[in-house]
Amino acid sequence: MTKEEAQVRIAQLSHQLDEHNHRYYVLSHPIISDFEFDKLLEELIALEKQFPELLSPNSPSQRVGGAITKDFETVIHKYPMMSLGNTYSEEELRDFDERVRKLLPDDEIEYVCELKFDGVAIGLTYKDGELLRAVTRGDSIQGDDVTANVRTIGSIPLKLKKGDYPSEFEIRGEIILPRKEFDRMNAELADQLAEDGYSDEEINEQLYRNPRNTASGTLKQQDSAKVATRKLDCFLYALYGDGFPFKTHFESLYKAREWGFKISEHVKLCKTMEEVMLYINSWEQNRDQLGFDIDGVVIKVNNYRLQQELGYTAKSPRWAIAYKYRAQAAVTILNDIGYQVGRTGAITPVAHLKPVQLAGTIVKRASLHNSDQIEKLALRIGDTVMVEKGGEIIPKITGVDISKRPIEAVSVVYITHCPECNTELIRVEGEANHYCPNENGCPPQIVGRLAHFTSRKAMNIDGLGSETMDLLFRQNLVHNIADIYDLKKEQIAVLERMGEKSASNIIEGINKSKEVSFERVLYAIGIRYVGDTVARKLARHFKNIDALMEANFDQLIEAPEIGEKIAQSVLKYFADADKRKVLDRLKNAGLQFEIIQDEANLPLSDKLKGITIVVTGTFENHEREELKKLIELHGGKNGSSVTGKTNYLLAGADCGPSKLEKAEKMKVKVISEKEFDVMIG
């Protein structure tokens, strides 16, 4: 294909892909399958690879991300990004209406009511119908340029449809994270943390708090490819610029929708305050059906001329106001408190509630975190409690209505013994949780560890999930991870819901797991705080289990990314004679306990993806070649001389002046060995 032919085909494909993208993300009405879409996209990517000079920043291929932004550039807003006055009551809203009518006594007032999206404000500038820049609100005067990340958001058009818009204008809106995507991200994170050995309590603390903060954090990610994997969405609600072909806000939204923007369907023109109140109250009732969070309703004067006459205060427009909803709460009865024991022995108290409807779901349980929280709330069984879901995932008890306390309500006495094995609980200095120390005799801890060992990211033994592990444990067939390798087909075949076929598959899976690499075996054996990444680092540093077992504290913290907490935990694990015995049995069973040479060259991360570094001089902690290797292992490229393509000059002692001078001239940042270490984490 000639360059000219490629140019025509690229334009064709881009147009088609833009259309399909709009149908999928804005109209929710695709007319081709994902497979067909991917085929078109693959063709485009291949052509752009063949003719890189034909790649445009707004090509549909750029939506998958890849660009890395190290520091987000600060951009001054052409129009300050103001906020809105807030109200929580009908009375205040009526005051607003009166103020408006007083200032415009001769005009007929119409309001536009819109949902108040609970997300991150964004200003998108379009030039000649193409996305030029996307900037966050920042301090309202200046914000961060997050264009590379915003390009990955499917519902934001990179090229507009043909229309009568001015050559340059800005449109503002809110980037949101749909609740379904938020839940998916949390489920994935929880799985990962559970597999890494964190307790339920620790997992709860690390989960994404609410969709808004998560959207905001995502937008500030340096790696746009990561942003692309999280399905952010964006509703637009205000146009800024000169030469627009309309006179009212309502019309502007209609037009913007025609140009390709995603505008909410729930925009309503209201002539009276009664209509406005109806809109507010109905969305307060139905907000759970939206699929994303709103925190109120925005009421705007429709006519642009009247907006102009009303003008602005120092902080916000006089022509609009936000009616905010209160956090969603419910009142119910505390029936009981239950206690869960995690794989690590950590105890998590859980409130059992009389089922109550809250934010679209029926809530039966609320998290109580630990004994301190129960004490702080001074809870009694039978109490009437307030449960809130203020944008957070797990509902929490926020208060007790003591006036409703029944006389027979009993104080909560925190358990002193494990609910599963009756061992006396311990509380470690500085930690909020109680623990059951009976790691080798407490069933949920044992089964939890066994299931972790066989899990996908660990030994990946199909058919040996937690239910089967529980069964094998209760049948006295497996007590520790080494027992798995002594299992016989006949023992498995006779178990509930098993048979010859599934037993053979399990045995086959067990045998196959003997080929699993050392780093995954190290992860599988369940050393606290040694997740898959840490296991990989330890395996590559120490190369085999014997070296790791013999390492002292100082040697452990010398390994990359290993801190004191992990080092202590590794020492504790190997100091345990029972664990050593189990490891010996695993070795005899034929598991991999040393790194195969090839693994040493596997990538460590993609932190330096798309980044070229030139290394020069001598260094304190690493040999120069070692640094070059590290650059590659973290996905970066080594440059031999400073050029326009160089991102950083990694300069050690005794580096000649020429490279430094060149770096200065070409505005290439010079970094030290320490800064490099921070970069690769």
Task: Tell me, yes or no, if 116 is annotated catalytic.
Answer: yes
Is residue 391 at the binding interface for ligand IVH, with CB under 6 A as the rule? no
Q: How far is the CB of 256 from ligand IVH (least distance, A)?
A: 13
Q: Which is nearer to ligand IVH, 160 or 322 (CB)?
A: 322
Q: Are 231 and 183 in contact (CB under 8 A)?
A: no
Q: Which is nearer to ligand IVH, 322 or 484 (CB)?
A: 322
- DSSP state string for 362-412: EEEEEE--SHHHHHHHT-EET-EEEEE-SS-SS-EEEEE-GGG--TT-EE-
Q: Are 614 and 650 in contact (CB under 8 A)?
A: yes
Q: How far is the CB of 320 from ligand IVH (least distance, A)?
A: 6
Beta bridge partners of 365: 352
Is residue 96 at the binding interface for ligand IVH, with CB under 6 A as the rule? no
Q: Which is nearer to ligand IVH, 61 or 136 (CB)?
A: 136
Is residue 317 at the binding interface for ligand IVH, with CB under 6 A as the rule? yes
Interatomic CA distance for residues 112 and 90, integer angstroms: 17
Q: How far is the CB of 621 from ligand IVH (least distance, A)?
A: 46
Stretch that binds ligand IVH, among 33-41, 81-89, 147-155, 161-169 (CB under 6 A): 81-89
Q: Of residues 39, 70, 116, 220, which has the active-site annotation? A: 116
For 502, the token pair is 């599934």
Is residue 322 at the binding interface for ligand IVH, with CB under 6 A as the rule? yes
Is residue 215 at the binding interface for ligand IVH, with CB under 6 A as the rule? no
Helical ranges in 434-559 per DSSP H = 443-454, 466-474, 489-493, 500-512, 518-524, 532-542, 545-550, 553-558
Interatomic CA distance for residues 111 and 272, integer angstroms: 8
Residues between 515 and 544 with contacts to ligand IVH, criterion CB under 6 A: none
How far does the chain reach from its first CA to its final CA, in angstroms?
44
Residues contacting 550, CB < 8 A, separation 6+:
none
Is residue 84 at the binding interface for ligand IVH, with CB under 6 A as the rule? yes
Could you say which of 238, 447, 472, 482 contacts ligand IVH (CB under 6 A)? Answer: 238
Q: Which of 83, 100, 81 is nearest to 276 (CA)?
A: 100
Give the rounded distance of the alpha carbon of 645 from its chain centre. 31
Q: Which is nearer to ligand IVH, 50 or 83 (CB)?
A: 83
Q: How far is the CB of 180 from ligand IVH (least distance, A)?
A: 20
Is residue 579 at the binding interface for ligand IVH, with CB under 6 A as the rule? no
Interatomic CA distance for residues 118 and 182, integer angstroms: 13
Is residue 237 at the binding interface for ligand IVH, with CB under 6 A as the rule? yes
DSSP code at position 455: S
Length of the chain: 681
Q: Which is nearer to ligand IVH, 261 or 573 (CB)?
A: 261
Is residue 114 at the binding interface for ligand IVH, with CB under 6 A as the rule? yes
Q: Which is nearer to ligand IVH, 143 or 260 (CB)?
A: 143
Is residue 22 at the binding interface for ligand IVH, with CB under 6 A as the rule? no
Residues between 124 and 183 with contacts to ligand IVH, criterion CB under 6 A: 174
Q: How far is the CB of 61 from ligand IVH (least distance, A)?
A: 30
- Interface pattern 629-668 for ligand IVH (x via CB under 6 A): ----------------------------------------
Q: Which whole-number Å values give the CA distances from 13 to 36, 300, 349, in the listed order?
A: 12, 40, 56
Bridging pattern class, strands 320-324 and 86-87 = parallel
Could you say which of 121, 219, 263, 276 contacts ligand IVH (CB under 6 A)? Answer: 121
Query: By rule CB under 6 A, what count of residues binds ligand IVH?
Result: 13
Could you say which of 41, 131, 298, 359 contacts ligand IVH (CB under 6 A)? Answer: 298
Neighbours of 22 (CB within 10 A): 21
Stretch that binds ligand IVH, among 114-122, 446-454, 542-550, 566-574 (CB under 6 A): 114-122
For 47, the token pair is 């052509």
Neighbours of 428 (CB within 10 A): 10
Interatomic CA distance for residues 158 and 150, integer angstroms: 9
Half-sphere exposure of 200 (CA within 13 A, CB side): 21
Active site residues: 116
Residues at the site binding ligand IVH, with contacts judged by CB under 6 A: 82-84, 114, 116-117, 121, 174, 237-238, 298, 317, 322
